[in-house]
Chain A
């Protein structure tokens, strides 16, 4: 399959996504055993803002496939390294690497990098825009844990600013999932995103009521609600309580419904929920590895 860059979920067709998920499953079957698909290949991980989890996941995936990684991670939240343009950084790095993973605070940076680079580029987060490998691993987890993508799926929490929620909603719409958007007042899914989903004829419900929605759901995808989104700290405390998943919230949940979270969590999910069989968020992290192995293999032409 022709797959050169992974920049945005919007670039991927349904059949391409299905294929990626299929290859991911093959990679999962390899387990922790090392393979040789990317023997001698070098991956550059360029983290213009820190994200230890994502970087470790990519570097581990590369190692599992017999390749190695080079790169940097900037500690600050400020942009571009030492005033050098992103274009120049990419042109320099591509002479050492067979593929580039980039995380950058500005929206569109990964697209720009892909336009400049001749080697494949994978977007590991461009500002508040896209983080397609997260979306793909979310899809993989839902499919793997429930058997399908066409399910009753709720996105819960801050849907206004959460890029994870926007991309996932887009991808799930392609697959005909029925979606419920559950968020506190003021943090609802932006109108723009909903208009955009209309082209897929998706069934969408919007509500502020978490408890009332629980019984119909197969998947609860919980996202962080950040304190800094609220001008009034008291308001935050109130909202935080109302959207927290606890054992009590789950009393009316379907027996085999599952809970996902892109992690790290703050306290959207009570720790005692971890022991229930609904909790799949650590499995979700685990699935990041086969999905990133599949993507690395595909973009570098070692898998097809």
Chain B
């Protein structure tokens, strides 16, 4: 983190080791522009990282992540680590990991897929990681990373 000064936060979340360039998609997932337009944010992009080459970091003041948000982040940035901060201290740390299947989080892009007609949980198999490619377990069509991000 040489050369990057980031103020410590009192309560909130620090998402570290985000795949370089994906920070804005992470913000999209958290809905900062819609649900939390006044959230205090710090975003660092393309920070040199020994492990990853470059990484992004997002800090959000006064907000912890919901499970569904963690699931989504795991899709576009499978190596991130999420730190929950309370009273300036890391109270909880979890490494996200890319699941083999994605249940209920996304909608199928195929308008003629049965999951868009019947009340049922969607299910996708992760077919490729980078760039992300998912296959609907119902209609068997694939969705590209671009199509997936559009849903966030």
**Do A and B actually bind?**
yes
Say yes or no for B112: interface residue by CB 8 A criterion.
yes
B contact residues vs A (CB 8 Å cutoff): 108, 110, 112-115, 117-120, 136-142
Q: How far is the CB of B45 from chain A (nearest CB, A)?
A: 31
Residue of B nearest to A8 (CB): B140
Say yes or no for A10: interface residue by CB 8 A criterion.
yes
Classify the interface of chain B: helix, strand, loop or mixed: loop
Q: Tell me whether A107 and B138 are in contact (CB under 8 A).
A: yes
A contact residues vs B (CB 8 Å cutoff): 8, 10, 79-80, 85-87, 104-109, 111-112, 115, 126-130, 192
Give chain B residues whose Cβ lies under 8 Å from the Cβ of A108.
108, 113-115, 136-140
Task: Name, among A10, A107, A108, A129, the residue most crowded by chain B CB atoms within 10 Å (CB to CB).
Answer: A108
List of 10 A-B pairs having minimum Cβ-Cβ separation, nearest first:
A108-B138, A107-B139, A108-B114, A108-B139, A106-B114, A109-B114, A111-B138, A112-B114, A108-B113, A107-B113
B140 contact from A79, A85, A107, Cβ within 8 A: A107
- Other than the given A108-B139, A111-B137, A115-B120, 8 more pairs (CB < 8 A) read A80-B117, A104-B114, A106-B113, A107-B140, A112-B114, A112-B120, A128-B112, A129-B139
A85 contact from B108, B118, B138, B139, Cβ within 8 A: B118
Give chain B residues whose Cβ lies under 8 Å from the Cβ of A79.
117
Give chain A residues whose Cβ lies under 8 Å from the Cβ of B141.
107
Name 18 A/B residue pairs within 8 A (Cβ), A-sorted.
A10-B140, A85-B118, A85-B119, A86-B118, A87-B118, A106-B139, A107-B112, A107-B139, A107-B140, A108-B139, A111-B114, A111-B138, A112-B118, A112-B120, A112-B138, A127-B139, A129-B139, A129-B140
B114 contact from A8, A10, A107, A128, Cβ within 8 A: A107
Q: Tell me whether B142 and A192 are in contact (CB under 8 A).
A: yes
How distant is the Cα of A108 from the Cα of B108 in the complex, in angstroms? Answer: 11
How distant is the Cα of A112 from the Cα of B114 in the complex, in angstroms? Answer: 8
